[in-house]
Each structure stands twice: as structure tokens, then as C-alpha cells.
Amino acid sequence: MLYYLYAHYGINLFHYISVRAIIAFFISFFITLYLMPKFIKWAKDKATQPIYDLAPQNHKEKSKTPTMGGVVFITSAIIAIILTVKLNFFTILSLITMLGFMLIGMIDDLGKIKGNNNQAGLSAKGKFILQWAFAFLISTALYLYGFDTELYIPFYKHPVMDLGIFSIVFWAFVIVGMSNAVNLTDGLDGLATIPSVFSLLTLSIFLYFMGNAIFSKYLYLPFELGVGEVVIITLALMGALLGFLWYNANPAEVFMGDSGSLTLGALIGLFAIFTKSEILLALIGFVFIMETVSVIIQVGSYKTRGKRIFKMAPIHHHFEELGWKENKITIRFWIIALITNIIAILSIKIR
């Protein structure tokens, strides 16, 4: 809406992506701050978090904590985006992704709440099928739009190969993989929130440079007309996440649930595709990938050797079993996420 005040009334201030992105940040932040207490009050009796039976013992006391906070902060972000963004292919696809994965997460969350059991939501197979189906639709839309199918690697300025039509499968894998990675990480108060903010901040820098013909040429980044508008979406999400963290900080008053974590992960994956940073996600989303790899190693080791590598997976539970306090684990993971994202940002210049 703000962009159209520029387009129709010549209010030049709203022409700038940076200005509208900052406005979107504050709109989503304050809407989340306003709505979340009302949601928590309503959800205390109607939408509390069922705790997984095999979770560490100290998690049992969290069983009365409201969940599905993701619906609130994602909705707040959507409101801020609609008020500030210029609609184009990339922004519309991002909004569709937000709505689609939030719906999948909501179905799963509501199933768990109704069944009063962490395993009562969507089956792992059912959730996986829905995620892949939606990710394929998004990836196919990107391919049919004519989006660049070349693959880039970090710290190297030229594409290494053209994936062609196989990019559809690759992009879908990135979206689904990151969606589940953030979901696995969301196991401690605030653990997934700040690494998500760091990832979105890094991706917003890439999006801004790649959407600018001058900056992209100077930095040897592929230029993509219109992708810069997605910066408004990343900033809106960051504002909403910080508003959510106000209530999710330990001890959490609300959890994001799958409606939040699945959506965040899918969007981080999508924005990595927009910025040709799919491989760089190893740094941008390092904490999320570390958590996922710990589960793969644990399951693989147990099935092949009958032995566990970690005391419990994902790896944040391993540290809990070692006696680390929840706050210490969370903040140390935040530090790791900050460091790896700084390295990822450095890759823009070291090419």
C-alpha cells in the first residue's frame, strides 16, 4: 500500500525499499506485541503444547504452555507486508509459501492439541507428502517463470553448473529440508527464533544487493529484477520474530508450534533460492542443519550398529542430558548462528 502512495501521489519516501522494509519491521513487531498476550490468554485453556513422551524430564513442566504462536507472528508479518510491499512475482510467491506452510503447520498443531499427544498430529509421512507437494508447486512456478537455474557455490563468483529442469527437485529439497530443519531446532525456549532472525538478516543483505543492478554488478552477484522487494518480507518476519521472542524467551509463555517453525524454514529455503545461496545455507542456517544432521547420525547409527552417538537427538537435547542449563544451550547456539552468518556475509566480498 505504501508503494502505491508513491506511485499515485508521488510521495517519494515510499519509493525506497529500505524505508518500507523498516516500516514493515516495526508494524509487524508492534502488532505481534499487541496480539500475542491476547492469544496467550485465549490459548491457555484451548491450545496448550503436548510434550513428547521421550523428551527430557524438565520439559514435562511445559505441558501447559500455549502453542501455535506462529499463527500470530506470521499473520502479523503478512499484515505488515501487505501494507508496505510492491506486489511482484517474488513477493506473491513468498506470501503463498507463508500461507501454505502455515496451513500445514496448523493442521499438525491442531491434531496434536485435539489428541492431547505430541504424536497425534499429521503423521510424519502425511506431513512430508504435503510439504513436498507444496514445495514442488513453488519450484515449478519458479522454473516456469524463467528463474535462473544455475548453481553457485560460496566464495566463487561464477556458476558451477546449470541444473536445468532438475532445479525443480533441487529447489523443492531445499524448501522441505529447511522447513524440517527449523522444526527440529524448535525444542528450547527461543532456540529457533534468533538463528532465524540472523538467517533472515543475512538473506536480506543478499536480496538487496541482487535486486540492485549496480550493486550486483560490482559484487559479481547475479542480478534479478524485482527480488529486492523481498527484503520487505524478511524485515517484516524479523520484526514479528522479535515480538514473538518477547513472550517466548525462557521461561516461555508461548511456543511457535509447527505453524511457525515449518513456515520459517520454508521461507529461509525459498529466500536462499532467490539469492542463489542454496549451498551457502550450510553457513546461513548452520544451527538448523547441525540439528538435522545430529538426528540423521543418531538414527543411522542406531539402525546400523544398535548404538547411539548422542545421549538424545536433536543435539540440543544431548547437551541438556549432559547437564547444561537451557539458557546456556540457547545462547551458545545463538552465538554459533551469529558467527556462521557473519562468515556467510563475508562471502559476498570474498569471491
315-350 pLDDT, tens digit per residue, is 998 998 888 999 999 999 999 999 999 999 999 988
7-16, 56-65, 84-93, 278-287: range with lowest mean pLDDT:
56-65
pLDDT of residue 152: 94
- Other Cβ atoms less than 10 A from the Cβ of 34: the count is 12
pLDDT of residue 214: 94
Element (H, E) at 161: strand 161-162
Give mean pLDDT, residues 46-61: 59
Angle at 137 between CA 131 and CA 143, to 5 degrees: 130
Nearest-angstrom CA–CA distance, 52 and 186:
13
44-48, 115-119, 244-248: range with lowest mean pLDDT:
115-119
| DSSP secondary structure letters along 268-314 | HHHHHHHTT-TTTHHHHTHHHHHHHHHHHHHHHHHHHHS--SSSSSS
pLDDT of residue 49: 58
**Is the pLDDT assigned to residue 215 strictly greater than 70?**
yes
Question: Which carries the bigger pLDDT value, residue 337 or residue 304?
Answer: 337
Cβ(309)–Cβ(298) under 8 Å? yes
Output the nine-digit C-alpha cell for 36.
500475542
Element (H, E) at 132: helix 124-145
pLDDT of residue 310: 87
Angle at 140 between CA 134 and CA 146, to 5 degrees: 145
Q: How far is CA 166 from CA 140, 161, 265, in A?
A: 10, 12, 22
pLDDT of residue 15: 78
**Is the pLDDT assigned to residue 63 strictly greater than 80?**
no
Which range, 28-37, 110-119, 302-311, is most confident?
Answer: 28-37
Omega before 251 within 30 of 0, i.e. cis = yes
pLDDT of residue 72: 95
List, for residues 149-172, the tens digit of each pLDDT value. 999 999 888 899 999 999 999 999
Give mean pLDDT, residues 297-313: 88
Cβ(185)–Cβ(288) under 8 Å? yes
Give mean pLDDT, residues 56-75: 78
